[in-house]
Chains A and B, each alone.
Chain A
Amino acid sequence: AQSVTQLGSHVSVSEGALVLLRCNYSSSVPPYLFWYVQYPNQGLQLLLKYTTGATLVKGINGFEAEFKKSETSFHLTKPSAHMSDAAEYFCAVSDQGNTPLVFGKGTRLSVIA
C-alpha cells in the first residue's frame, strides 16, 4: 500500500527566504503525487501534481516540486517566501491514479517578517 512521510511537522522561514518542504513516498507502482495547501478553517486546495512526463512540476503561487524516483521524493520548494504562504501543506500519493489519495500528516509553514 502506498504511504507518505513528511519530514518536519513545522517549518519556519523568514520572509523572502527559500521554502523547502520535504515529502517521501512509498508506492509499489508508478505514483501520482500531489501537494495540497490548507489555510485556517478551510478545505484543502491543490497546489500542484505529478502524473507522468516532466519531473519538475510548477504549481500556483510560485511553488514547484520535483519527482525523484531514485530518492522516492517529491519535495516542495518556493524561491522566496511570502507572508501569505503561511499555511498547512500536505503531500499525497495515489497508485497510478487508480487509488484514492493517501495524505501525509502535513507540515505547518510559518513565515516570519
Chain B
Amino acid sequence: DAGVIQSPRHEVTEMGQEVTLRCKPISGHNSLFWYRQTMMRGLELLIYFNNNVPIDDSGMPEDRFSAKMPNASFSTLKIQPSEPRDSAVYFCASSFRIGGAGELFFGEGSRLTVL
C-alpha cells in the first residue's frame, strides 16, 4: 500500500487567500484524523472522522477552518481566509480504529506558510 498521501507537500500563500489541503487515507481504514504541528503547541488534533462522519471538530481553531470527507478515500482541510498564524505543518493520519488500538499511520505532512 502507498500509505497516507497528502498534497501539497509545501504551500506558500498570502494572507487572505484560500488554502485547501488534501488527504488520501490508507484503503480499508475507517478513521481519519487531521493534526497540526507547530513549535509552540506541538501536535494538536483538529478534527477526526469515523466512517466518513465528523465525530469531533472541537480542535478546529476558528470558523475559518473546515474539513470534509466526501468518501472513504478522500478528505480535505480548508482554511478561508488564511492568516500568518495558520503557518504550520498539517498532518493527516488514518487508522482502523479511533483510539489507535490499530496503528495510526501518518502522511508526510503539508507545510503551510502564510505570508
What residues of chain A have their CB less than 8 Å away from a CB belonging to chain B?
32, 34, 36, 41-46, 49, 51, 90, 92, 94-106
Residues of chain B at interface, number, CB under 8 A? 22
Instruction: Flag if A99 contacts B43 (CB, 8 Å).
Output: no
Closest CB pairs A-B (n = 3): A43-B106, A97-B99, A97-B101
Which residues of the other chain, A, contact B107 by a CB distance below 8 angstroms? Answer: 43
Instruction: Flag if A41 contacts B43 (CB, 8 Å).
Output: no
Instruction: Flag if B99 contacts A96 (CB, 8 Å).
Output: yes
Which residues of the other chain, B, contact A45 by a CB distance below 8 angstroms? Answer: 106
Selected from A34, A36, A100, the residue in CB contact (under 8 A) with B98 is A100
Contacts A100-B33, A102-B45 hold; do A44 and B99 have CB atoms under 8 A apart? no
Which residues of the other chain, B, contact A96 by a CB distance below 8 angstroms? Answer: 99
